[in-house]
Structure 1
Amino acid sequence: MGLWTPAKKKRIARSRIVGTRRVVEAIAAAEVKPEVLVCASAIGFYGDRGEEDLTERKTVGKGFLAETVQAWETEAYRTSDTRVVCLRTAVVLGRKGGALPVMALPFRFGFGAKLGDGKQWMSWIHLEDVARLALFAVENLDIRGPLNAAAPWPVRNADFTRLLAKQLHRPAFLRVPAFLLRAALGDFSEEILDSKRVLPSLACEHGFGFQFPEVEGALKDLLG
């Protein structure tokens, strides 16, 4: 969160890239190699893609996040001794910590608002489904490479705003213009305004069943 200064961008990239490099080096040095490395990754890989359906087969997008995630995953794939799965995680919704408490706070005080025009796609996933999908990746030997950790029904920001307000029994008639978000948050605003319609194609092909496929059910579970 907050402004992405050049120094902060450098810290973000280094923590992901160098951290993963050290893990891969440890695997290379280990006498007994692990059978699988499930590496954290992010849907920032895809960049701002509008209405495009983003499956694991899509190429990398543009921008700081896309470049960082691509370099991050590249480090994971350097291991030749271990099956690698890069879990490209969407916005994780959980009861404590993460995105949801931060997003819900202004709504609780009656200041809920859609961001920009509200038409941008928001990909999300319930915390329980992230944990189950990571275990699924470990247990299914046919899964390797990128794996989208996103619920099968992404929503537009305007719809998420409406459903969150409904669950909290608060109004949400406001709108924060995109230019204000860009002025206040700089490059971090792309996290909020970019449109990513990410689909869990590989998970569904391998028979993974989401406990929370739709955001309304996830919000009821987490905030009810």
Structure 2
Amino acid sequence: MQVLIAGASGMIGSELTAQLEAAGHDVLRLVRREPATSTEFHWSPSGRIVDVALMDRADAVVNLSGASLSRLPWTKSYERKILSSRLDATHTLTDAMRMAKNPPAVFVSGSAVGFYGDRPGQKLTEAAIKGTGFLSDVVEAWETAAHLAPVKTRVVTIRTGVVIGRGGAMKPLLPLGRLGLLGPIGGGGQHWPWVSLHDEAAATVHLLTSKLTGPVNVVGPTPATADAVLRALAHALHRPYGIPLPEKVVELALQNAGHELLLSSQKVVPQKLTDDGFVFQDVTVQEAMNRLVAHR
């Protein structure tokens, strides 16, 4: 296939590109800078500029573009950027698809488990209703924008949680882990939806040729609490674990971001993926952390 990726240079995009190319597919990359190779093409999502001809050329489009949620703190201006960066990118792509004579067969667009909000004690499949909070509202608008793709284009929105990879949420946690400074955050009993970087990309590849539509939870098959996730990282690094970070400190230091990213409980399960036959390489969060540390 010819796969057009927005956000190919990021952590997930880089892994996705590697897996697609290893499988023999051609990857076309949208870049904001001057293109450096024949497979790179300039676009400006904030200016709603992209070459419509690419949409006639591509068999599939993957949208991973958006301001990082891991950049802290979330000021009011940065919260506006979190939303606008996602909507600008998605609208730019769907507008171009609608103008194409032969639009892509599938559009896989980024999304997040933030859709569900704080839901302690609930098992969350894709059938669960929208929650409350800033991220829940962002995801709703983001997914709505993705569904503006042409009727003939199959749309999948991948609701992702904590990706166990070389960047994102792991970027600040790895050095803390190496120093032996990891411990329960806010008690640690809240569920953190996690997925290994390998499986995040592999699931995206799977969805390009699947028949699934709409939201798909791209999370590991074995739910884990925040305590289990952080303990797994400490174990993989062969470092001690136990220094707690109280809930009040998290809320005071990070405010809204602290509550939505670290203290919310979301027991999300990948119902659609498993029913569709996708096989995870990293079934437990410990396997995902071992892969991360071994890779590094």
**TM (normalized to structure 2)?**
0.73
What is residue 93 of structure 2 aligned with on the other side? 23
In the TM superposition, what whole-angstrom CA distance separates every residue of 1:20-68 from its partner, at most 9, and x where no partner exists? 1111100001111100000011111111111211111111110000000
Distance 2:100 2:242 in 1: 57
Mapped pair 1:155 → 2:224:
yes
Mapped pair 1:82 → 2:153:
yes
Distance 2:199 2:228 in 1: 21
C-alpha deviation, 1:81, in angstroms: 2.9
In the TM superposition, what whole-angstrom CA distance separates every residue of 1:179-205 from its partner, at most 9, and x where no partner exists? 111100111102011011110000011
SS of structure 2 residue aligned to 1:28: helix
SS of structure 2 residue aligned to 1:120: coil
* Paired letter, 2:137: E
Mapped pair 1:128 → 2:198:
yes
In the TM superposition, what whole-angstrom CA distance separates every residue of 1:101-141 from its partner, at most 9, and x where no partner exists? 3212112112112100110001110111111111111111x
Distance 1:162 1:75 in 2: 38
C-alpha deviation, 1:219, in angstroms: 1.2
Contact 1:47 1:62 in 2 (8 A): yes
Contact 1:28 1:81 in 2 (8 A): no
Distance 1:182 1:14 in 2: 25
SS of structure 1 residue aligned to 2:159: strand
What is residue 8 of structure 1 aligned with on the other side? 78
What is residue 61 of structure 1 aligned with on the other side? 131
What is residue 144 of structure 1 aligned with on the other side? 213
* Paired letter, 1:93: I
C-alpha deviation, 1:99, in angstroms: 2.1
What is residue 249 of structure 2 aligned with on the other side? 180
Q: Write 1 or 2 for the structure with the bigger share of helix.
A: 1
Distance 1:130 1:175 in 2: 29
SS of structure 1 residue aligned to 2:184: strand
Distance 2:170 2:82 in 1: 21
Say which is worse superposed, 10-19 or 99-108, in terms of deviation: 99-108
* Paired letter, 1:188: A
Query: What runs of 5+ residues in structure 1 fail to find an aligned partner?
Result: none
Distance 1:161 1:210 in 2: 21
Tell me the C-alpha RMSD between the 2 structures: 1.1
Distance 1:28 1:81 in 2: 10
What is residue 141 of structure 2 aligned with on the other side? 71
| Structure 1 stretches of at least 4 aligned residues deviating more than 6 Å after TM superposition | none
What is residue 111 of structure 1 aligned with on the other side? 181
Mapped pair 1:166 → 2:232:
no
C-alpha deviation, 1:70, in angstroms: 0.5
C-alpha deviation, 1:162, in angstroms: 2.0
**Amino-acid identity (%):** 36
Distance 1:39 1:160 in 2: 26
Higher relative contact order (Cα pairs below 8 Å, separated by 6+ residues): 1
Query: What runs of 5+ residues in structure 2 fail to find an aligned partner?
Result: 1-70
Give aligned pairs, total.
222
**TM (normalized to structure 1)?**
0.96
SS of structure 2 residue aligned to 1:174: coil
